[in-house]
Amino acid sequence: MDIYFGILIASFAPSLSLTEILPFPLNVLLGPIMIGFGLAFFILSKKFLIKPRIGVVKFGRKRKVRKRRTMVVLSINIVILLILFLLRVSDIGGSFSLPFLIEGYLFLTVPLCIVAYFLQFTRLYIYGFLLGSGFFLADISSIIVPIPYNFLFTYLLLGGIIVIIGVTYLIRFLRKYPLPREET
């Protein structure tokens, strides 16, 4: 999951920075290609690495209720964020503007922290704060890294950090749960 999430974050980089630089089909397709690669890795790792070691997991009633609550809370959150977004881009909000750090935390960190809470996935809190800081870090890094490469630098760095954490957890998992030996 961590590796897929890291690749997903890294896939923001080309769409935020390279759309004007890359030729037409590649500038639009590079992000989705990266997401597809990450999704393929996620699905194949579940099939060939996870299932043979621990089998298929059936979630109980508590987990299903928690998942339903997550969906309700996230739906409410999305509606609120959509209203804030529409106020920002329309004339109704006037000069309504949020600093990058607050904007990132509102639109990215809060929803990820809600998901982390309900799914009891503690690393997602950290990933939420990393992702929420992305626009702010890209803005700061524009001092060193020229625009539009600052977004490329920031999101590849954030995605890379999460991928490294994911690879570490994958290696720990593979060592803890080796493949069962076949009896002859």
Q: What is the pLDDT along the chain (184 residues), one digit of tens a residue?
A: 788 888 888 887 877 777 778 788 877 788 888 888 888 988 998 888 888 887 777 778 887 888 888 788 778 877 877 776 666 666 554 555 567 778 778 778 888 888 888 878 899 999 989 888 888 888 888 889 888 888 889 989 999 999 999 999 999 999 998 887 776 5
Residue 65, domain member (yes or no)? yes
Q: Please report the pLDDT score of residue 91 as a whole number.
A: 59
Determine the straight-line distance between the first and last CA of the chain, rounded to whole angstroms.
Answer: 35
Structure tokens at 72: 């309700």
Residue 56: the pLDDT is 76
Amino acid at 70: T
User: In this predicted structure, what is the pLDDT of residue 172?
Assistant: 94
Q: Are 51 and 42 in contact (CB under 8 A)?
A: no
User: Does residue 76 lie within any of the structural domains?
Assistant: yes
Q: Structural domain tally of the chain?
A: 1
In whole angstroms, how far apart are CA 31 and each of 21, 40, 45, 111, 118?
14, 14, 21, 22, 29
Residue 113 lies in a domain: yes
Give the separation between CA 105 and CA 90, rounded to whole angstroms.
21
Query: What's the pLDDT score for residue 88?
Result: 62
Q: Is residue 62 part of a domain?
A: yes
* Burial class (CB within 10 angstroms; exposed 0-12, middle 13-18, buried 19+) of 52: exposed
164 assigned to some structural domain: yes
Q: Does residue 172 fall inside a structural domain?
A: yes
Q: Please state, in angstroms and as integers, the Cα–Cα distance from residue 82 to each residue in 3, 34, 76, 89, 115, following that order.
A: 28, 26, 10, 11, 18
Structural domain span for residue 50: 2-176
158 three-class SS: helix
